[in-house]
Structure 1
């Protein structure tokens, strides 16, 4: 029996998030032939992951329980506390993988910037949600270092939930990039989808800088789809299963 893949997104009141999550689900399903891929959410959207896990048909053997892949970009509270508790109460046979962001998506970030028109004189701000877990924020800063190395230019990190009084975090990032020789500021959203948080950082940047470049979110970039597929295959031991290739 092929284990079901349960994708778990955070959820949002912004309908763009749900639309993007569904597109990712479809792309993953296309890349994993013969695997049932079900989308669920931790909060704010339906179906909730607990309901999905509780509603999967029939008691599954421990070696065929569903595989739960969190479509999260850092391993914070939801990954370490919230989701394991839900799994334990609703489907103890389920296997939870690492977060999607554990597979480096630096290439996807770089592609989105280049698609938007990144130029040689552009400095980059990597925007992310921000977490109460210091380890989660450190993982984002690691992605910024990787992106800086890949693009051969400075990359500053701004957390959308930690902008500070007067959007000070954005102003500081712009000042550092300018000091490093950046002529234009490019914004790289480390988000699955556009939404209220990405717009919060965009608005703060627009208030400070006239000429900016804003890249698209990760969305259905092939690296996102392949990261999810890789986590699933590792969980079930399907080393020979083709990774597939989804269109961006």
Structure 2
């Protein structure tokens, strides 16, 4: 019996470095699981669009869409279900986050950036327009806080409050009130460089970490999401 196709579906970016980072995840998935058919797709900005990829599958081809996204938002709840609606043999897995392994990776990025114990940490997520779109980011912040002695708060690049500049200002007030020097470190909870990551540097934080990628952890989580979705199909 052939293995279901893994459709690795990312957001999409015009940033060449960000595009390369996503394609590296696909290459790592293929390296970890030789023989597994892996196809790239995007929900915005880049091609091939997910709907076109799904429509182009031969009739009866089993496939699992694995969102290379860090939480449940509009793309996961609306765009992906819409793209696969007419193909019952194509199912969707949950997004990559929240996940304890991502918390460990975020903590690693913070240490690489020079985090001190008295710094405030602001987890900067993309944001979602859905009412419950912040739940996953808040859970990821909780997982990160379990690994650090620092105050950890959440802010968003778009579509949710607080925005990152306001989050930086509020957290700076908190850590200053605690008697610390008031440094705020933005933890980039974004997959790769691109527009949203670039905007973080305008928020007047003391430090902005590198994004989540590159890291082989993402490919490992993606395959776990795929395997779970395949198992649920029976």
Shift in CA distance, 19/181, structure 1 to aligned 2, threshold 3 Å: farther
Report which stretch shifted further, 35-44 or 177-186: 177-186
List alignment gaps of at least 5 residues for structure 1: 207-211, 239-248
Which of 214, 231, 237 pairs up with 2:231?
237
Whole-angstrom distance in 2 between the partners of 1:147 and 1:182: 21
Whole-angstrom distance in 2 between the partners of 1:166 and 1:152: 21
Which of 219, 225, 245 pairs up with 2:219?
225
Q: Note the 1:13-162 alignment, pairs <5 A.
A: 13-56=14-57, 58-60=58-60, 65-89=62-86, 91-104=87-100, 105-161=102-158, 162=160
Whole-angstrom distance in 1 between the partners of 2:92 and 2:170: 38
List alignment gaps of at least 5 residues for structure 2: none
Shift in CA distance, 164/79, structure 1 to aligned 2, threshold 3 Å: closer
The residue aligned with 1:245 is none
Shift in CA distance, 163/81, structure 1 to aligned 2, threshold 3 Å: closer
Whole-angstrom distance in 2 between the partners of 1:165 and 1:148: 20
Contact 1:122 1:186 in 2 (8 A): yes
TM-score normalised by length of structure 2: 0.88
Whole-angstrom distance in 2 between the partners of 1:235 and 1:43: 24
Shift in CA distance, 213/94, structure 1 to aligned 2, threshold 3 Å: same
Query: Cα RMSD (Å) of the superposition?
Result: 2.2
| Deviation for aligned residue 1:163 | 6.7
Deviations 1:96-129 (A, max 9, x none): 0111114342111111112223223322111011
Whole-angstrom distance in 1 between the partners of 2:179 and 2:7: 45
Contact 1:157 1:173 in 2 (8 A): no
| Deviation for aligned residue 1:46 | 0.8
| Deviation for aligned residue 1:150 | 0.8
| Deviation for aligned residue 1:192 | 0.3
Structure showing the higher helix proportion among its residues:
1
Shift in CA distance, 33/165, structure 1 to aligned 2, threshold 3 Å: closer
The residue aligned with 2:199 is 200
Deviations 1:146-202 (A, max 9, x none): 211211210121111157799433311222233345433221100001222122122
TM-score normalised by length of structure 1: 0.84
Deviations 1:42-70 (A, max 9, x none): 011011111112223x3235xxx111101
Shift in CA distance, 54/170, structure 1 to aligned 2, threshold 3 Å: same
